[in-house]
């Protein structure tokens, strides 16, 4: 995935490279912040440490 060349020049995407460098991508994504693109390297895998929430608690809540 990458920005279209026409969109890359837009002020909306001016700070994209800096924001991409600040984010931590999952292991199954390869991110090129300078080129402003990301590549899917494999299938998404659930890793509890990478989540902002406990998936088990969410599933338990909605199973009630």
Q: Residue 55 has what pLDDT?
A: 84
Q: Residue 50 has what pLDDT?
A: 72
- DSSP for 3-56? --HHHHTSGGGTTHHHHHHHSPPPTTEEEETTTTEEEE-S-----GGG-SS-HH
DSSP 2: B
For residues 41-53, give the mean pLDDT: 80
Handedness of CA 40, 44, 47, 52 (dihedral sign): positive
Is this structure's pTM higher than 0.85?
no
The domain spans of the chain are 5-62
């Amino acid at each position: 995935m990458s920005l279209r060349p026409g969109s890359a020049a837009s002020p909306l995407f001016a700070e994209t490279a800096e924001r991409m460098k600040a984010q931590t991508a999952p292991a199954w994504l390869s991110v090129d912040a300078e080129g402003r693109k990301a590549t899917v390297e494999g299938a998404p895998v659930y890793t509890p440490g990478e989540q902002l929430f406990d998936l088990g608690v969410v599933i338990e809540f909605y199973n009630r």
